[in-house]
Structure 1
Amino acid sequence: MSPARTLLRALVLLGVGIGLTVPAVAAQAEPSASELTQQINKASTELEKIVEAYNKAGEDLKTTKAAAQAVATKLGPLEQELAVADAEVGRMAAVAYRSGRLANANALLEGGTGSVVDRLGVLDKLARDRQAQVAGFTATQQRYLDEKSKLDIAQAKQTAQVNELATGKKKIESDLAKLYEMREKAYGSATTSSGSYTGTIPSVSGQAGVAVRFAYNAIGTPYVWAAEGPNGYDCSGLTLAAWRAAGKTLPHNAAMQWDKVAHIGRGSLQPGDLVFYSGLGHVGIYVGSGKVIHAPQAGESVKLSSVDMMTPYGYGRVR
């Protein structure tokens, strides 16, 4: 037996004799339900920021498209008028070229009524009016073309931003999908729902009452990113839809809604007012008695919560 094999056999025998063991690699502990919840909440907060940024880019894009369409609508008639003016000036230039100045003068001297000076003045004024008209149309058209060019550039930029945000959203959703698998192990379900509201909806008058009733009836509807109903909502999509039912228009973005509402103090809160959270990254609708209805996060559904579920950023009244 070789020296190496003899040494190996001796070491094995020695290990058996004194109970030598190789430490096992510690198994990674499964995350607890509490840890899973924290991970999901953190990922959902990141996702909500991306969704709200996506919503804002969409709102900006809609505004730019509308402005570009308005410019294009104005440019159409302007271009037609310009074409008519150009054709008229071209006709006058062609006549002058064919006949020459002297022939034009002879024609004016031989025909028509009124003095020669009057007829020459009419022709000169006509030429100057046409030139001024064409110059005016050309300058106006150029202004519109410049504006439309700027709008086209902005639209292209915003479209690129939307695509970039969509890519980021897919990554977060992919990460959430993995966390939901872990949550399903812990809770038996990847999503939870409070179910529809079966209690008494408080009586609130006016348009605010319409918005509040809408919000109560939306309880139990799943959170769906960038959605404004009827089968799903994100936070700003819910407040948008509730006030849309009441005849008011809000943008689909919490920060933009903050810019549109009248800012009020907490002591002035009334049902229908909006409560903003998380640095304007989240919004809910106040329904009275210290409660808000909101679309919380992916995996949950629209629900009734305390107004202090998070530290409020501010309060706003829809105008």
Structure 2
Amino acid sequence: MSSLSNTLRALAVTVISAALLTPAAPARAEPSPAELTRRIEKSSTELEHVVEAYNKLREEIKANEAAAARVQSRLGPLEQETEQSRADVGEMAVTAYKTGSNLTTAETLLRPGGADTLLDRLGMLDQLARQRQEKISNFTANQRRLLDEKTRLEVTLARQAAQVKQTTAAKKRIERDLAQLYELRRQAYGQATEKPAARPDSAKKAPAVSGRAGVAVRYAYGALGKPYVWAADGPNGYDCSGLTSAAWRAAGKSLPHNTRMQWSAVTKISRSQLQPGDLVFYSGLGHVALYVGGGQVIDAPSAGRNVLKRGMNMMSIQGYGRVR
């Protein structure tokens, strides 16, 4: 056997041995259903906080729009009052120039007519002076009020413009996070969202609750099976605070479309005081649900899911509130 053959054989043995001794790269394992579920829950919680921050911005923008409208409604009358005051002061100056009514006291005293006439004339001059001062003061006050209102309006509109920019940025983040969450749901469940559940006459299954609380509870039952839609308050979809605000709006009570604002608006109660229609707030104030009795709540859980009824202890509870 030639030396070339021996060399090739030795090289082949070396290569085969190296291949056998080198550990194979482990195949990348797909995440387990449990791991996917954990990721989905974590992403859903984070997304819900972002959505609620977006809802808060929208509520603040609505409040600023109302404030701007109130200022605008005052500007018109104030401008008219200021213009009228300006005209009054101008007319007063013209009259004084034409009639020479700015007589000195000495000139007045030297004119004939007797003591009574003199007293009358002094009284008239005093009255004219007071009227003149009053018109000038009104003009100055109206000008100041007008300028103050215009400044207030400019500040409100500037704040509103900044908030609109913030909502635009928040919307982009929400849409990005939603895409990631939907992909996780596809991996875990084969579809990004639950199919809306057909629940005809579900409101008829609501417990008998009197008063406005009963209206809110029946509304929540009627929303069962409808999809979670971020920043929505019905009638075709809801996020968590959108559902509670819509339910109580149906009952004639206004609640802001934001969990933290709702927490500030309700009367705090204890767990033992819970009644159907009360609100249950969860840790971090990122989620809220409507209590319907029997330890159950109805809520819009998270993106990709539908409104459902479930046990109230599904996560850590922050507190309880009653709409007054």
Give the TM-score of the pair, scaled to structure 1.
Answer: 0.84
1:182–1:280 CA distance, 2 compared to 1 (3 A): closer
Aligned pair 1:314/2:322, yes or no? no
Contact preservation (8 Å) 2:47, 2:177 = no
1:27–1:128 CA distance, 2 compared to 1 (3 A): farther
Q: Distance in 1 between matches of 2:16 and 2:64?
A: 82
Contact preservation (8 Å) 1:275, 1:283 = yes
Deviations 1:104-153 (A, max 9, x none): 989xx79xxx9355345435523432432342343254245325524532
Deviations 1:43-70 (A, max 9, x none): 2211211211221222222222222222
| Range moving further from structure 2, 59-68 or 270-279 | 59-68
Q: Could you tell me which residue of structure 2 aligns to residue 157 of structure 1?
A: 159
Q: Distance in 2 between matches of 1:318 and 1:244?
A: 11
Q: What is the aligned counterpart of 1:244 among 246, 249, 256?
A: 249
Matches within 5 A, 1:194-213: 195-197=197-199, 200-213=205-218
Q: Distance in 1 between matches of 2:10 and 2:148?
A: 87
Q: Distance in 1 between matches of 2:139 and 2:233?
A: 44
Matches within 5 A, 1:188-227: 188-193=190-195, 195-197=197-199, 200-227=205-232
Q: Could you tell me which residue of structure 1 aligns to residue 303 of structure 2?
A: 298
**What is the count of residue pairs matched by the alignment?**
308
- Which stretches in structure 2 are left out of the alignment for 5+ residues? 1-6
Runs of 4 or more, structure 1, over 6 Å off, are 8-11, 102-106
Q: Could you tell me which residue of structure 1 aligns to residue 188 of structure 2?
A: 186
1:188–1:118 CA distance, 2 compared to 1 (3 A): same
1:57–1:126 CA distance, 2 compared to 1 (3 A): farther
- Which stretches in structure 1 are left out of the alignment for 5+ residues? 1-7
1:317–1:75 CA distance, 2 compared to 1 (3 A): same
Contact preservation (8 Å) 2:301, 2:307 = yes
Partner amino acid, structure 2, of 1:290: G
Contact preservation (8 Å) 2:215, 2:247 = yes
Q: Could you tell me which residue of structure 2 aligns to residue 57 of structure 1?
A: 57
Q: Could you tell me which residue of structure 1 aligns to residue 3 of structure 2?
A: none
1:10–1:90 CA distance, 2 compared to 1 (3 A): farther
Deviations 1:134-185 (A, max 9, x none): 4234325424532552453244224423422441342243133133224213
Q: Could you tell me which residue of structure 2 aligns to residue 67 of structure 1?
A: 67
1:145–1:92 CA distance, 2 compared to 1 (3 A): closer
Aligned pair 1:80/2:80, yes or no? yes
Q: Could you tell me which residue of structure 2 aligns to residue 5 of structure 1?
A: none
Please tell me the root mean square deviation across aligned C-alpha atoms, in Å: 3.0
| Range moving further from structure 2, 292-301 or 142-151 | 142-151
What is the DSSP-based 3-state SS (H/G/I as helix, E as strand, rest coil) of the residue aligned with 2:19?
Answer: coil
Contact preservation (8 Å) 1:277, 1:313 = yes
Partner amino acid, structure 1, of 2:117: S
Q: Could you tell me which residue of structure 1 aligns to residue 263 of structure 2?
A: 258
1:137–1:101 CA distance, 2 compared to 1 (3 A): closer
- Report deviation, 1:265: 0.7
1:76–1:154 CA distance, 2 compared to 1 (3 A): closer
Q: Distance in 1 between matches of 2:76 and 2:182?
A: 54
1:9–1:101 CA distance, 2 compared to 1 (3 A): farther
What is the DSSP-based 3-state SS (H/G/I as helix, E as strand, rest coil) of the residue aligned with 1:315?
Answer: strand
